[in-house]
């Protein structure tokens, strides 16, 4: 079956760096996405990786290793507003998005 694994919850300190990991087993691979979702709101797009390597976008970076079925989202200079759930999603061979359960990130002052 298809499976996306990411930690349920993580805690970090304001100003610090945090890495959220995502591992996947899917039927084919056509890209991996990270979305941010604040409580009670819809998800917002953060990043898209289809080739191996690191994609940097401001304070957020996303890494992909297709051979390992692994990605991480790196958040630097954490701010209180970064407290949210972070969803990892993989697009399979049928171009269907398979969603992870999300990682709830708690930022402490």
Partner 1 sequence: GAVVSQHPSWVICKSGTSVKIECRSLDFQATTMFWYRQFPKQSLMLMATSNEGSKATYEQGVEKDKFLINHASLTLSTLTVTSAHPEDSSFYICSARETGYDTGELFFGEGSRLTVL
Taking CB under 8 A as the binding criterion, the range among 52-60, 64-72, 74-82, 92-100 that sits at the site for partner 1 is 92-100
Among 5, 21, 31, 55, binds partner 1 (CB under 8 A): 31
Q: Which of residues 52-81 bind partner 1 (CB under 8 A)?
A: none
CB 31 within 8 A of CB 50: yes
48 binds partner 1 (CB under 8 A): yes
The first and second tokens of residue 23, run together, are 């591992």
Write down the least CB distance from residue 85 to partner 1, Å.
8
Q: Is-contact 93 69, C-beta < 8 A? A: no
Find the part of the chain contacting partner 1 (CB under 8 A) among 19-27, 29-37, 67-75, 76-84: 29-37
82: nearest Cα among 6, 5, 16: 16
Sorted by sequence, the CB contacts under 8 Å of residue 62 that are 6+ apart come out as 32, 34, 46, 47, 49, 54, 55, 71, 72, 73, 74
Taking CB under 8 A as the criterion, the residue among 20, 22, 26, 33 binding partner 1 is: 33
Q: Of 21, 23, 30, 83, which one interacts with partner 1 (CB under 8 A)?
A: 30
């Amino acid at each position: 079956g298809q499976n996306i694994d990411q930690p349920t919850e993580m805690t970090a300190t304001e100003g610090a760096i945090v890495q959220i990991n995502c591992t996947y087993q899917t039927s084919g691979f056509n890209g991996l996405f990270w979305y941010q979702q604040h409580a009670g709101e819809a998800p917002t797009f953060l990043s898209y990786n289809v080739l191996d390597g690191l994609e940097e976008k401001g304070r957020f970076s996303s890494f992909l290793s297709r051979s390992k079925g692994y990605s991480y989202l790196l958040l630097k200079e954490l701010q209180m507003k970064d407290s949210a759930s972070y969803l990892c999603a993989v697009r399979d061979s049928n171009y269907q998005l398979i969603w992870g359960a999300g990682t709830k990130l708690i930022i402490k002052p």
